[in-house]
Structure 1
């Protein structure tokens, strides 16, 4: 299992996998409205037309939509990876 370096404090690496680039861009746009972010990087995702988009977000600079949600949310479980994540 490869161990990727962790992002710097206050940042998160987000990976979006979608059937089309347009869907991935829409999800990234929603994240950008909530958090400051770096330029996105996109790659083919295995199936024809599918896209994997990588985005670094700055969780220290939170916009209002995310701020409201984050202040009222509680973690529901320990850090757990999805079964298909390596």
Structure 2
């Protein structure tokens, strides 16, 4: 677990997003795309020990663009999906 990760979930109506990319530019491009759909907090970035960048941001899922809200309303968790091997 990364020292800045937290086991405490975000408050209701919010989601924590972690982006890991080879370059800071790639991580910022993904964050920018997410911000087009969700209001969010200031991003925080950290170097990845093996190289690359880890970017963290919190988004407000209750203040989402219409397209994101409709996706959230229709999406469902799948039994087949779970954490990646490097996630808790």
TM-score bucket (shorter structure): 0.7 to 0.9
What is the match of residue 63 of structure 1? 65
Q: TM-score, normalised by structure 2?
A: 0.81
Q: What runs of 5+ residues in structure 2 fail to find an aligned partner?
A: none
Runs of 4+ in 1 over 4 A off after TM superposition: none
Residues 7-61 of structure 1: CA deviation (Å, up to 9, x unaligned) = 111111110000000110011011111111000000001233x100000001111
For structure 1, the 5+ residue unaligned runs are none
Change (3 A) 1:37 1:70: same
Q: CA deviation at 1:79?
A: 6.6
Q: Which residue of 1 aligns with 2:8?
A: 5
How large is the Cα RMSD of the aligned pairs? 2.2
